[in-house]
Amino acid sequence: MLFSQVIGQDDIKAKLRNLVEHNRLSHALLLSATEGAGGLPLALAFAQFIVCERVSGGSTKMNFPAESCTICPSCVKAAQLIHPDIHFAFPVVSNSKGEQQISKDYISEWREFISQFPYGTIFDWLQFIQGLDKQENKQSNKQGNISARECNEINRYLSLKSFESGYKILIMWMPEYLGNEGNKLLKLIEEPPPDTLFILVTENEAQILPTILSRVQIIRLPRPSIPEIQDALVSRAGVTPDQARQLASVSEQNYREALRQLQHGQDDWQGLLREWLNAVLKTGPMAQVKWVEEISRAGREKQKQFLQYFGHLLEQAIRLRMSDAAITDMPDSEKDFAFRLNKIADLAAQQAIVQEINKSVYYIERNAHAKMLFHALTIRLYHILANREEAVVT
């Protein structure tokens, strides 16, 4: 992978290049990035940059490259995730016999996953390797982890000499999935063999073992900007600029979430939301029960995306309320709906609804019972809007 394939992060890319150019590279880096910010793609691009023969040999400070060359044998192998000096560790699940697995048991799946979902999440990865239980139509309950056996394997292959490049590199994705067995790596991280580099990539820095956290140089990645997400959606996903602008706003600068929203781009979120609000404000309990039944069958990801879309519209409504100038970066249909939301809810009510939505998204991510959650949320929404219950969203 190339630096140019990583969305945004220009300052971080420059910092990493500078560390290599001036030979100030720490032996253990932690790239701390929120979901969809590109921590793993950046780690892959950085590893390829380090092993690139143009970077490692023959370059002077006057012409130090800003990008790996893509054509040397090391770059070709790194791009295919088959370079013998770039190793990977990531959460895996036990096999059908309950036997502990390690990353190399899933290396073929890993290469395919990266090629399809370079911005994929841990949920995407576990779903990818486990698949769906077709009989029960639900995700397997197996939880991923990085095991003690994996740690022993890391200690073994990093103690060997490099095969081709000057560095041996370990990219560990999601070190927060290390339990106390991660302490097996402490000595290796603190006193590694010469020319050994750890690149850890996390989405939850607070869950990493403190003993590991204290031994790494932390580099925190910001979220890509909305224009950067827009450009990526137009150039990589082939969406229109208007659609890209909407997706970038709804996804809260999370590229993976923007792609998820795109998958469900044909879903009529506005129609569903209009039906819900009218059931709350006008048509009453029977319509509310019917609506809850409908949304409960939608599946967890769609439920989450619907609520995030509602939250996005509320934020747009607040923007319209607070700004005297016309807002031009909203599609007309969204702007019209936001105006209607301002008619049925004042600022305090809108802020209260946003809080309820955020809590509901949190519970959905933790497998809350959908019917109970949406019944409770419907009742709460009614009480928030009770003073203006004569309003109807048409």
Q: Helix or strand or coil: residue 88?
A: strand
Mean pLDDT to the nearest integer, 328-351: 81
Q: CB of 363 within 8 A of CB of 373? A: yes
Give the pLDDT band (50/70/90) at residue 97.
Answer: low
- Alpha helices (H) along 142-200: 148-158, 186-190
pLDDT at 87: 96
Of all residues in the chain, the percent with pLDDT exceeding 70 is 89
In sequence order, the 6+-apart residues with CB closer than 8 A to the CB of 133 are 139, 140
pLDDT at 140: 47
- Mean confidence (pLDDT) of the chain: 86
pLDDT in tens, 107-118: 999 999 999 999
Q: Where is pLDDT greater, at 214 or 136? A: 214
Give the pLDDT band (50/70/90) at residue 98.
Answer: low
pLDDT in tens, 247-298: 887 777 899 988 877 876 656 788 899 999 999 988 889 999 999 999 998 8
Q: Is the pLDDT confidence value at 325 over 60? A: no
Give the pLDDT band (50/70/90) at residue 321.
Answer: confident
CA 171 to chain centre: 17
What is the Cα–Cα distance from 354 to 371, expressed in whole angstroms? 20
Give the pLDDT band (50/70/90) at residue 198.
Answer: very high
Of all residues in the chain, the percent with pLDDT exceeding 90 is 54
pLDDT in tens, 304-320: 878 988 988 888 888 88
- Other Cβ atoms less than 10 A from the Cβ of 253: the count is 20
pLDDT at 185: 93
pLDDT in tens, 45-72: 999 999 999 988 755 555 788 999 999 9
- Alpha helices (H) along the chain: 10-21, 39-51, 53-56, 73-79, 107-116, 122-130, 148-158, 186-190, 210-213, 226-236, 241-250, 255-263, 269-278, 285-296, 300-322, 332-344, 347-365, 370-385
What is the Cα–Cα distance from 33 to 376, expressed in whole angstroms? 33
pLDDT at 304: 84
pLDDT in tens, 210-245: 999 999 999 999 999 989 999 999 999 888 887 788
Q: CB of 326 within 8 A of CB of 305? A: no
pLDDT at 320: 84
pLDDT at 302: 80
Give the pLDDT band (50/70/90) at residue 327.
Answer: low
pLDDT at 106: 94
Which pair of structure tokens corresponds to residue 322?
């607070």
Which pair of structure tokens corresponds to residue 36?
């969809």
Q: Is the pLDDT confidence value at 142 over 70? A: no
DSSP secondary structure, 229-246, as one string: HHHHHHHHS---HHHHHH
